[in-house]
Structure formats: structure tokens, C-alpha cells
Amino acid sequence: MKLIIASNNAHKVTEIKAILGDYYEQILSLRDAGIEIDVEEDADTFEGNALKKASEIFDAVDADAVLSDDSGLEVDALGGAPGVYSARYAGEGHDDAANNAKILENMKDVADEKRSCRFVSAVALVRKDKQPIVLRGTVEGMLLRAPQGENGFGYDPLFFYEPFNKSFAELTADEKNAVSHRKNALEALRAVLEQEK
């Protein structure tokens, strides 16, 4: 059985292989599979984007299954923003630093105890002759007032994870992968696959 992951992120592929490796003999990134498809993620939910990406790629490839995820940051004081716009919060073509600067500016007057936020990951598994599986994983945190740490990417330097008393950008890759929103979503997916056995 062949699973194609709708990503070229090596860290993401490694994480998925670790959790789902015993369900598929072959797990390939888009690059590994020689696939170049750019799916426009224009849904208004993480689940909608993940399912759209997995479905479009599944229709274009020869594989038993395609797994996609869409993830981002939800800040309660901003009504759940940036949400599905996390990667382009500061506008198209802007980088992590610009996104982080914008969120800090928008949150500058918000009290420490009202800075709750979460990382969200929705995963979608599209398979031959079966209904798609779409699940969500989250991890709760607080938004810092300044970046902390050099690891990770995106909003990791601003995401304070209380159980470790560190930002996500201060965690090792192993520490982050053990508690991340993506891991929680993939573990939920694994539990569904276990039930199907």
C-alpha cells in the first residue's frame, strides 16, 4: 500500500512515517513521488483546506491514499485569527517575521491572562473505495509579548507551552513532535485506522 503525503516538508514526512508507518509499505512526499501540484487552499476551515488538497492530489496520482494537513494558529482575543490565514496573515509574500510582527502589534494591548491561543492541525486521508477521514488536533498555549527561542518556524517563537515552561521555538524537535497539534491529529487518525482493522 502506497501513501502520498501532500507535502515536501521533510520534518512533517518523518513525523507521519513514525506514526503511520505500519499501515503503509511506502510513504512518499510529493517530491519523492515526482508530483508537482499546487492546490489553492481557499476553504474557510482547516478541515476544508486539508480535504481539498488531499482530494485534488488523490485524483491526479496513482496511490492507495493521500494524506494532507492544514494547520495554523488561533488566538482567542482576535476571534480565532489568524486561523486559516496564518501563513499569509501579514499579506501574500510576507514571511514568518512579518506575520509575527503583525500579531504582536494586534495583541499589544491585551492583558497577559487573555492571551490564550492554540495551534490547530486538520488532517485529511483520502483513500480508494472508502470515505475520507478528516480529523483535528490541537495544542493549547499563551501568546508571548516577544519571540523566544531559535528553533521551529512560523509562530513557534510566540507560542508559550506551559507544561514545558518554554516557547515552541525553545523545544527540541523531539519535544515538539511529542506534544504538537499535528501529532495529536495523526494519533487520532491512527486510532480510527485501528478501529477499521
The one catalytic residue in 64, 69, 70, 109 is 70
Phi-psi sector, 185: left (phi>0), alpha (psi -120 to 50), beta: alpha
Contact 71, 53 (CB under 8 A): no
Contact 119, 159 (CB under 8 A): yes
What contacts 30, CB < 8 A, 6 or more positions away? Answer: 4, 5, 6, 7, 8, 36, 37, 57
* Catalytic residue check, 59: no
Helix (H, G, I), strand (E, B) or coil at 2: strand
In order, the DSSP letters of 78-146 are GTT-BGGGGGGTT-TT--HHHHHHHHHHHTTTS-GGG-EEEEEEEEEEEETTS--EEEEEEEEEEE-SS
Residue 110 phi, psi (nearest 5):
-90, 130
Q: Which residues are catalytic?
A: 70
